[in-house]
Amino acid sequence: MPTPHVLYESTGAIARLTFNRPEAHNAMTWEMYQALVDCCDRAEEDPGVRVLVLRGAGGKAFVAGTDIAGFRDFDSAADGIAYEQRLDAVIDRLERAAVATIAQVDGIAAGGGCAIAAACDLRVCTPGSRFGVPIARTLGNCLSAANHARFLDLIGPTRLKELLFTGRLIGADEALAAGLVNRVVDADALDGSVGDLAAAIAANAPLTIRVSKEMIRRVQAHRRTAPGACHDLIGACYGSADFREGVDAFLSKRAPRWRGV
């Protein structure tokens, strides 16, 4: 169910989920990830809801990723594989939501937050928003195969490699040009613009939207690797000394010292 850090409300055909941990740039805990799953269930179970909007509180971040403090206890490749499997289940649930989903991004969408946005059907952001997965310069871990596939579907291999290899965050205009977002809207017009978009979707034939969404998802899923096919690669990152160094450095607010082992 929703928590103080994940709020849920519905008005007519539009439901809104708010990640409400602005003091931590809405970094996700497992309680918040579970609340995201519960909100997807709640939206689906309400016959009046046709669109679910996801947004972040505070005006600085959509979601800044997973709370890094949760990685401090990782000490093996198996811990990383289990984490990515658990995260995959959450992101997959969002992607499978029977209602249309819109990520309303105002600020940073990084790491797991960028994956959440990518799993939504549409993305609308403000000019000051930034997107990326900066793990090559922060933690030294990796995305799951499923999340690689989502980003490949949106921006293609050339852009994705640059994004992951450099670890940089891209701005709204570049994200729009890359196909990562659908629209860029001034901050003072964001709520209204997303509301209008959601209302336009909600006014259309619900079965057409639901079937079209699921048809596209099945075609994309057909191109993805089998579960477990890339666990050796995930384990190589999460089981490394570099990953432990990356977590320690991040939490200590210093630059990591990479050794490639």
Closest CA to 136 of 164, 176, 116: 164
Q: Which amino acid does the sequence have at 13?
A: A
**CA distance between the termini of the chain:** 41
- Work out the burial of residue 109: count CB atoms within 10 Å of its CB; fewer than 13 is exposed, 13-18 middle, 19 or more buried: buried
- pTM of the shown model: 0.96
Residue 259 phi, psi dihedral angles, 5° rounding: -125, -10
167 neighbors 137 (Cβ within 8 angstroms): yes
6-202: CATH topology: 2-enoyl-CoA Hydratase; Chain A, domain 1 (3.90.226)
Query: Over the stretch 204-219, which tens digit does the pLDDT of each residue have?
Result: 999 999 999 999 999 9
* Residue pointed to by tokens 């989920």: 17
Looking at residue 220, its pLDDT comes to 94
Q: Distance between CA 111 and CA 106 in Å, rounded?
A: 15
CB atoms within 10 A of CB 1: 10
Looking at residue 1, its pLDDT comes to 64
Cβ contacts of residue 157 below 8 Å, gap of 6+? none
Looking at residue 219, its pLDDT comes to 95
Q: Distance between CA 96 and CA 227 in Å, rounded?
A: 17
Cβ contacts of residue 229 below 8 Å, gap of 6+? 145
CB atoms within 10 A of CB 176: 17
Looking at residue 223, its pLDDT comes to 86
Looking at residue 2, its pLDDT comes to 65
Please list the ranges in the chain whose pLDDT falls under 70: 1-2
Q: Which amino acid does the sequence have at 50?
A: R
Tokens of 17: 């989920």
Closest CA to 243 of 34, 68, 50: 68
Looking at residue 227, its pLDDT comes to 84
CB atoms within 10 A of CB 177: 12
Residue 108's H or E segment, with its range, is: strand 108-110
Domain boundaries, the chain: 6-202
